[in-house]
Structure 1
Amino acid sequence: MHNAIYYVLMLLLGFAWYKFGQNLLRKGYRDENGKRTEGFVGPVGFLMSAVLACGLLFALLRALVRGEVSCLGKGCKGQIYTLAAHAGEYWANVFFLTWTVLALGYAVYVTFKIWFRA
């Protein structure tokens, strides 16, 4: 039950993230107060998000190819989950990596799209 709640909450958070980005893209160049519409992140955050997303994408692809993923928490630092021995934990970490890569990639996409509107 705990896992089901975790996955449902992650999917709801992803949906809210998507809707927020779509609302930003629908806005014009200026909001109702006359301020310029900003993206999710600024220039430094854009670069940091892009680098972090690329690093996590590499970790995700490596996990899928090798069939093992390092634990992504404080309590299990250094532990490696393999698909054969720890399938549940493996897929939970792969799901988290996928969600994080998609969320960061979407933030970079929305910011880039807002900066270069025609």
Structure 2
Amino acid sequence: MMKRNLILSAVLALSVSWILAAQYSWGTPQESSLVSQTFTVENMTCAACPITVRKAMSRVDGVHSVKVNFEAKTVTATFDPALTETATIAEASTAVGFPAQVRGEAP
């Protein structure tokens, strides 16, 4: 009886771990589905500005990473286009006081 319970417990634990691993891997965007977009953010003037912009853009659902180049006044966001779009990412920066626009677009 004890041996049977031990085997059942092991099978149950293994099944649960497989299910959790599958959910985690299905819920994470695949690198190939991610898109990068560069934004221009002209009014970054101090050391705190890039931090504020990065945090605001990173909070948008679907954004995978945000890299700010303070000297060039640009921000490159890598995101899942199935979850968000460039306008939403730009709006997040604009909402915290740093208007952003897709690089190359006219204001």
| TM-score normalised over the length of structure 2 | 0.24
Q: Rg: which structure is higher? A: 2
Higher helix share: 1
Higher strand share: 2
| TM-score normalised over the length of structure 1 | 0.22
